[in-house]
A and B are shown apart, each in its own frame.
Chain A
Amino acid sequence: MRFIVRQAWREIRNSRSFCFFYSLNLALGLIGFLVVDTFQESISSKVESESRELLGADLALRARRPISPDELIQARKNLPAQTTESQTVDFFSMAAGPGGRSRLVKVVAIDQGFPFYGSFSLQSAGKLSGQNITSLHQEKVAWIYPEARAQLGVQVGESIQLGETTFRVSDLIEEESGLAFQPTDLAPKIFIGLGFLEDTKLLGTGNLAFHTHLFRLPEQIDANLLIQGLEKTIESPEVRTYSHQQAGHRAGRLLRYLSDFLSLVSLVALFLACLGSGFLFHGFLAHRLPELATLISLGATRSTTLRIFILQLILLGFLSACPAVLACSIFLPMLSDTISGISSTQVEITISPKSVLQTFLVAVFSGWFLALPSLQKLRKLQPAELFQEASRPGSRPIRQNLLYAIPGLFAFWLLCMTQANSDKLANLFFICFLVSLVLLYGVAGVGFRMGEKLLHRARLPLRLAARSLSRNRAGALTGFLAIGLGVLLLTLIPQTYHGLSKEIGIDQPRSNLPSLFLFDVQEEQLPGIRALLEQQNIPLQNLTPWVRGRIKTIQGKPYEKSLREEEELNNPDEQRRNAFRNRSFNLSYREHLLESEQLLEGVPFSGAYDPSSGLPAEISVEQKYAKALGLSVGDPMTIEVSGILIDTVVVNLRRVRWTSFQPNFFVQMQTGVLEQAPKTFLATVHQLTPDKKEKLQDSLVHQFPTVSILDVERTGKKILEVVGQMTWSLQFMAALSILAGLVILYCVVREKSRSQSWEMNLQKVLGSTLGDIRKQVWLEFGLLGGSAALIGTLLSLLTSYILSVQVFDRVWSFRWDLPLLVILAVILLSILTADFGVRKALRQKPVVLLREA
């Protein structure tokens, strides 16, 4: 054993260049891996540990309408005897400060006992748990967030108006628990006692409010076990049940969307790094095989020789993981700020011992798996060849080497499955990658052979270059695969990111954004609002009716609440789909598509509905919603609006860019059907100066207190900030994969030029000029790099398209400049690196090189 350790260490000590590039490559990949792993780990543990505080209870029922006494009685039958209850109502509304300044706020009316878990941190009163909150229930007081104080111009002790009554602001909130599982709020929260909610008279017909009933279970009772019973009991799809564990899942949902993409990037970075390191090890081992044969001839067993290299890989993996862990320990805490911008919860990013252990395992085993095909050469090594003058042990290619890549591929698939949140993303990525690998291999094999045939009459340097690629097939194929896969993965990330950024609207001109968004506008309020705006010469735009509907049948079958919900929540793909289900939905009607909508399948509306035709009404469904409901073009669907059943048929599916801030709906109906249905309206007001906007908001709230106004510019800015923070994370990871890609490219070309330097110098001995040889080198590596980059780029475009369609909701746009740039850069880099690698050999006297052989 001592010999093995000593020899492994010597190999590392005396192969510094190889060890440096191997470790650098692996360390870069491991950084990407560790960043994402830590990110996911931190979020999961935070969400898990604080899920009770997030919900404020063990279980909750939540609906957009009051939960009926019958439903509550049914629910209680499923709960243990000592269960305690509380409730909350939350909704958006306008509030006005003492100076008349009004803003959109989120009103949360809480009942006694809330929250069961966690507490409120107030500026004056300090920390108050649910049992200690008394003032809110005894007096008409409100606790507000500091942002509301600034926006409404109110101080502690002064009053704010909510609907038809006023509340005295008694304290400022620093932190709160309970109901924090909803995504980032668009407006600051104001807490009042539930007993005083009715005085506001804000919850009239058509106003949207969430009613939540919260339950505290006796200790040792698992909320998840009770959920299924509750779901079966409460049949109304409008009432959703939550365990605190599910609330945790929901809180992490936004972060999980981000980590989906991040995990893809991390896999790319890690695989690129492993590919580079594997390629380096392959070259290194091929170089060392004659010496290993010597070692065997001196009496070392094959297993001893094998163990030397395995130990070497363990040591190198260990050495690569150390700087990666160190770098992440220093820089990862900075990510905490990024995350808190996206989530409503403060997430501390710290590296867990599990992540560190996992990184070390990946570092050690990735080396083994990648080295397996190369180590197989060691098993087949013939030391007897040492006696043969012209033979070089281990130089004969071994065909079955590829089989030894299978464990490595399997391990990579496992890694994809564990790293990606979504199985679908992981499997798609892996399949695309595998198919690309096979395609690259096939194309290269055929291409090199054809290249030699086609160019057999070309000028000498080109002829020799083509011949070299075809005859040194093992080396050329490995190089082609490494460069091709490197380019594929390298361009995949920016290409996918480009599509996503277009969807998010990073490049969207902000002038298109409305200044204010009005909702909950009652039909009878419309003339007054129009008149008010006309006085100030401001047009009311995008006036859109908003109707609440309920699905009764789909494809002729009654639409029932899915019982699979509980199982599905652990799978984000299903979770996303499921999020649309079990609910009533919003719908509207209009004649044509907006600019933020794109028709994907089917035909536009035929015009206004003709009641005498007897045909079902035409509807257009948003593609994600259609997918969640299993709807296709031509499918019938019955919708209930205010008790009236409407037969409809899906005439088209469309994609909606939700970040456009235009009034968009999951379901749009043709005109002529819903005009008489009870509805509210949405509208936008554009291009207001800050002063004008302030004045308009104030006068609207004064005259129409139930109309909610959203300052889209402020919200847009907040969303753009979040997008910016997401972009930062994505760019960091993409940069990491690009860096790993460049290092691998350098390693591949360097290794290949080194392996061929002897042949090139033999040509020199035979009379070729330096210029000729250099030209041949340029052509050979230019051809190799260029063709690999071209095929890799094409496959990358295809992969990014498939991923976009399947995972990122058809968000794909072709970016021509990047592939072109990558192909040119790879050709240039291949030529330069080859020239650099060969220059050293060319400078030597030929006799030295011949002696080396």
Chain B
Amino acid sequence: MNPILKVSKLCKSYTQGDKEVRVLTQINLEVSRGERIAILGQSGCGKSTLLSLLGGLDNPDSGTIEVDGVELAKMSEDERSKNRSQKLGIIFQQYHLMRNLTALENVGLPLEILNTANHERQAGEALSQVGLSHRSSHFPSEMSGGECQRVAIARALVTQPSLILADEPSGNLDQKTGEEVMNLLFHLCSQHNLTLLLVTHNRELAHRCDRILELTEGGLHEQSK
């Protein structure tokens, strides 16, 4: 079976003043459909850079990224946007919900971008899957952090993407709420056979995934569970 995500020899560096900082060097990665991968690493090791490259939000210096058999580098920016809306679901540590939209509207937003008919019904279903049907008309400012992150999860899942990129989804939450949110995320990924790439500091959480990769010195190293 073809991998859902294939990364080959990915390199990315930044310039800071006169100095060039090599963040990612020769990253190789293959993720199969339905697989759950955890990426561990210290602050500043390049986890966020890797996620933004995988999400097509930034361009690599060299190397290739294939999502569902399609190479990102060969796409225009607009095609990458379309690819993102169809095949990727992104969950941020800081939720990044639209403040002026209700929970239901936030969840339905990716469907609206895709011009999907019945987007409200589908958004309502996704919201009920994360247990927030009763909060559908509330704005983010009227919800707790845990609820906001559940809305963000529903938003990432509503288009039934091939790959979920999750950046520390529980990083902004207290332990109990964080556990609840992560349970929900793992449950939904299993239920819908979704592929998950989870960036986290939490080793315990990482052990719930199928594979653990550690990002150190610009390279990905497989860890035994």
A interface with B by C-beta (< 8 Å)? 2-3, 6-7, 10-11, 14-15, 290-291, 293-304, 382-384, 386-389
Contact = CB atoms under 8 A, between A and B. Distances in A.
A299 B112 contact: no
A298 B106 CA distance: 11
Contacts of A389: 93-94
A304 B113 contact: yes
B85 A294 contact: no
Contact of A299 (B47, B52, B81, B105): B81
A383 B80 CA distance: 13
Contacts of B81: 296, 299-302, 304
B114 A384 contact: no
Contacts of A293: 96
Contacts of B130: none
A2 B115 contact: yes
Contact of B57 (A11, A304, A384): A384
B98 A294 contact: yes
B101 A303 contact: no
B57 A298 contact: no
B94 A297 contact: no
Contacts of A14: 100-101
5 contacts: A294-B97, A303-B78, A304-B81, A384-B58, A387-B52
Nearest to A302: B77
Interface in B48-87: 48-49, 51-52, 55, 57-58, 77-78, 81-86
A303 B88 CA distance: 20
Given A299-B84, A301-B81, A291 B93 contact: no
Interface in B95-118: 96-101, 105, 109-110, 112-115
Contacts of A296: 57, 81
Interface in B156-193: 167
B52 A384 contact: yes
A7 B96 CA distance: 17
Contact of A3 (B77, B84, B115, B167): B115
A297 B97 CA distance: 11
Shortest 10 CB-CB contacts between residues of A and residues of B: A299-B85, A384-B52, A14-B100, A387-B48, A294-B96, A299-B84, A301-B81, A384-B57, A384-B58, A301-B78
Nearest to B53: A384
Given A384-B52, A387-B52, A387-B167, A297 B105 contact: no
Nearest to B51: A387
Contacts of A15: 100
Nearest to A12: B100
Given A297-B57, A387-B48, A3 B112 contact: yes
A15 B83 CA distance: 31
Given A2-B115, A304-B113, A298 B52 contact: no
Contacts of B155: 298
Given A14-B100, A297-B57, A389-B94, A6 B84 contact: no
A291 B112 contact: no
Contact of A298 (B51, B77, B113, B167): B113
Contacts of B94: 386, 389
Nearest to B58: A384
Nearest to B101: A10
Question: Which interface residue of B49, B82, B100, B105 has the most chain A CB atoms within 10 A?
Answer: B100
Contacts of A302: 77, 81
A291 B113 contact: no
B11 interface: no
B199 to A, nearest CB: 8
A290 to B, nearest CB: 7
A458 B58 CA distance: 46
Nearest to A300: B113
A499 B100 CA distance: 50
B5 interface: no
B77 A383 contact: no
B154 interface: no
A2 B57 CA distance: 25
A384 B77 CA distance: 14
Given A14-B101, A291-B99, A297-B55, A6 B77 contact: no
Given A298-B110, A299-B84, A299-B114, 11 more contacts: A2-B115, A291-B96, A291-B98, A294-B98, A297-B55, A297-B92, A302-B77, A384-B58, A386-B96, A387-B93, A388-B48
B4 interface: no
B44 to A, nearest CB: 10
Contacts of B52: 383-384, 387
Contacts of B47: 387
Given A298-B155, A301-B77, A387-B92, A3 B113 contact: yes
A252 B110 CA distance: 60
B110 to A, nearest CB: 5
A94 B93 CA distance: 94
B84 A297 contact: yes
A356 B61 CA distance: 54
Contacts of B93: 387, 389
Interface string B142-164: 00000000000001000000000
B70 to A, nearest CB: 14
Interface in B113-133: 113-115
Contacts of A299: 81-86, 88, 110, 113-114
Contacts of A382: 57-58
Question: Which interface residue of B55, B98, B105 has the most chain A CB atoms within 10 A?
Answer: B98
A302 B48 CA distance: 21
A297 B155 CA distance: 12
A3 B108 CA distance: 11
Contacts of A383: 52, 57
A697 to B, nearest CB: 77
A4 to B, nearest CB: 10
Nearest to A392: B94
A40 to B, nearest CB: 42
B206 interface: no
A59 B84 CA distance: 74
Contacts of B58: 382, 384
Nearest to A3: B112
A6 B105 CA distance: 11
A382 to B, nearest CB: 8
B54 to A, nearest CB: 10
A337 to B, nearest CB: 48
Question: Which interface residue of B84, B86, B93, B113 has the most chain A CB atoms within 10 A?
Answer: B113
B24 to A, nearest CB: 13
A6 B115 CA distance: 11
Contacts of B55: 297, 384
Contacts of B85: 298-300
A301 B56 CA distance: 12
A639 B206 CA distance: 105
A655 B167 CA distance: 77
B196 interface: no
A313 B214 CA distance: 47
Interface string B25-57: 000000000000000000000011101100101
Nearest to B152: A294
Nearest to A2: B115
A296 B55 CA distance: 11
A300 B78 CA distance: 8
A7 B110 contact: no
B166 to A, nearest CB: 11
B185 to A, nearest CB: 17
B212 interface: no
A297 B90 contact: yes
A616 B177 CA distance: 103
A2 B48 CA distance: 33
Contact of A11 (B96, B100, B112, B113): B100
B105 A10 contact: yes
